[in-house]
Chain A
């Protein structure tokens, strides 16, 4: 039996199934759902007991866009070419070629937010995967082996794109996927040779493979359009995040973690551009009225590293109750800060440059500089460095970064131990105790 036969949950859909379930019924149902959500959000009574102001109205659109994306994914196998890609992969040519893109990392985060990550990761652990591996990888491998997913069903990949600009785990992870799905894997290695950024041979290789699988050549006009959208989307996302430089900040980093879905999963698409335009308008209105994301913003804090997906809601509320607004994060910033590098006139050159420069492909010193800049620009009172049990590349250097931030800038900085997706690596009691002591330290300086 081949590896793929061991995964009976990956089934192809017919065009008719896709049309009925997605185009006809699904999209309409999600639109109706959005109308209901909008109506509910508008009529939501102010809750004096809540430390948070009402959520952004645009969240209803975000839910619709992301649900539609995952719903389309259910019927993508057999009706569209599908590529599974790492979060830092140069996807623009694939979008121009009409591929449906699956971001396993985003899918794993979805499992985390829905609090299903642990039970799905255990499927991988039972199959022999070590608990020391990235919890995203374990969640996705568990989902692949068992078919368990809050998304209903994921489409089988026709090709895999693995770009090492976020970590080295993806290299091994995607080789496993290639084995199971028996499909081509394009590896784009991103060594720390920033002066060689003009070299885009690997991206060209990827385009050739993608063209061959899709059975059509890359349409340059469509590619240019995708690049334009990619740049505009990233610029808007950066604008959205920078609106939190206002006091009070109109959104929290926890909002950012949720609203980053489109820029991660659908960058290069016009729907993403439209969404962030809408979000920006709403944030501007909030800023103009002086409405903050939390009611009593006493301390402004930076979050470093991935979110603790299974704790986002609780953290947001708990910190809000203590007057703490996490107004910025290095993680959400990673999808916006390279916007100026994207040049639709020189797509391949600029892609090579952009995809070599994500924060995780730079030095620990560079991350420290970025954090210092954010402390200044966002007028921050403290920094929380999430020491992520299973994301080593992001956590590397945090002890020194914490040290430098507190000693050179005099900013209280806390190392908070947890994991982005595995609740077994976080202890509520100890976490809360450290956070409280951190807040007392900010209080003492105020």
Chain B
């Protein structure tokens, strides 16, 4: 069993992730759960379980990121998601470029420099449009599980235009579309297009340095990936575990090169 060199904790708004790395910076263990209201208690439990599984003691530094990072008493340091995602993806994909991280509460576009540090970034404005929450919320209205969203949007033959980028107003738009007998998959396709539209304007703002990279929970959604590639006319590459990149980056910041 490899020795645990550091643990990264990403206490996100939707999911809570822990990643343990060895001295070479390789992932040796991880945990992922939906975020509970008392994230600090949840992290304590997950941390104990992870250490137990890996036979690790409390000596390895723990670095926290994500919205709940300041609540994590076990953390030796806390760092924003921007720096952590940049570091995690840089290590996982081995290249500089433009990273799009779409999380539950925030979406951000980060320009990763040649040393893996963020050179520039842009975040969505104070509104849920363009975040995972937008899809989650509107999908719930259609009764579609989050995991099926991308596939169904891609399989739709038509696309319903969703004009509102506001999550709440988009929901009322969906209700009207359903009342008019629109195909739910076509609505889903339109919703994805709307989200991608918001993200792409941020990407253009920060500037595209190929390749485009994706991380965060929404990266698992095929339709988002395909539509970003289409809108930017660039290839989109993903690390193997996009959702863990924040926690991975945090662990790497624990002193591993």
Contact = CB atoms under 8 A, between A and B. Distances in A.
Interface in B122-139: 122-123, 125-126
B80 A436 contact: yes
B119 interface: yes
A444 B119 CA distance: 8
Contacts of B47: none
A201 interface: no
A248 interface: no
B118 interface: yes
A441 B111 CA distance: 11
A440 B80 contact: yes
A176 interface: no
Nearest to A418: B126
A415 B207 CA distance: 15
Given A430-B126, A437-B83, A440-B80, A407 B207 contact: yes
A399 interface: yes
A441 B121 contact: yes
B89 interface: no
Interface in B107-122: 113, 115, 117-122
Contact of A429 (B67, B115, B119): B67
B3 to A, nearest CB: 28
B80 A415 contact: no
B9 interface: no
Contacts of A440: 79-80, 82-83, 118
Given A429-B67, A441-B120, A403 B205 contact: yes
Given A437-B80, A444-B117, 14 more contacts: A399-B205, A412-B120, A415-B122, A417-B125, A417-B126, A433-B80, A437-B82, A440-B79, A440-B82, A441-B117, A441-B118, A441-B120, A441-B121, A444-B83
B130 to A, nearest CB: 13
B87 to A, nearest CB: 10
A429 B71 CA distance: 13
- The 3 lowest CB-CB distance pairs between A and B, nearest first, are A437-B82, A444-B117, A437-B80
Task: Determine which residue in B67, B81, B122 has the highest number of CB atoms from chain A within 10 A of its CB, and name it.
Answer: B122
A406 interface: yes
A417 B82 CA distance: 17
B118 A437 contact: yes
Contact of B119 (A427, A430, A441): A441
A301 B81 CA distance: 22
Nearest to B124: A430
Contact of B118 (A403, A415, A425, A444): A444
A394 to B, nearest CB: 17
Contacts of B205: 399, 403
Contacts of B82: 437, 440-441
A407 B81 CA distance: 22
Interface residues of B, number: 20
Nearest to A415: B122
A153 B124 CA distance: 42
Nearest to B105: A430
Interface in A91-118: none
Contacts of A433: 67, 80-81, 106, 123
A399 B117 CA distance: 22
Nearest to B119: A441
A434 B122 CA distance: 9
Nearest to A440: B83
Contacts of B80: 433, 436-437, 440
Nearest to B83: A440
Interface in B55-85: 67, 79-83
Interface string A415-446: 10100000001010110011011001100100
A441 B80 CA distance: 10
A137 to B, nearest CB: 22
Contacts of B117: 441, 444
Contacts of B106: 430, 433
Contacts of A429: 67
Nearest to A433: B80
A440 B115 CA distance: 14
Contacts of A437: 80-83, 118, 121, 123
A328 B117 CA distance: 27
A440 B85 CA distance: 13
Interface string B184-228: 000000000000000000000101000000000000000000000
B49 to A, nearest CB: 28
Contact of B123 (A399, A434, A444): A434
25 contacts: A399-B205, A403-B207, A406-B120, A407-B207, A412-B120, A415-B122, A417-B125, A425-B126, A427-B126, A430-B106, A433-B67, A433-B123, A434-B123, A437-B80, A437-B81, A437-B118, A437-B121, A437-B123, A440-B79, A440-B80, A440-B83, A441-B118, A441-B121, A444-B83, A444-B115
B79 to A, nearest CB: 7
Contacts of B125: 417
A245 to B, nearest CB: 26
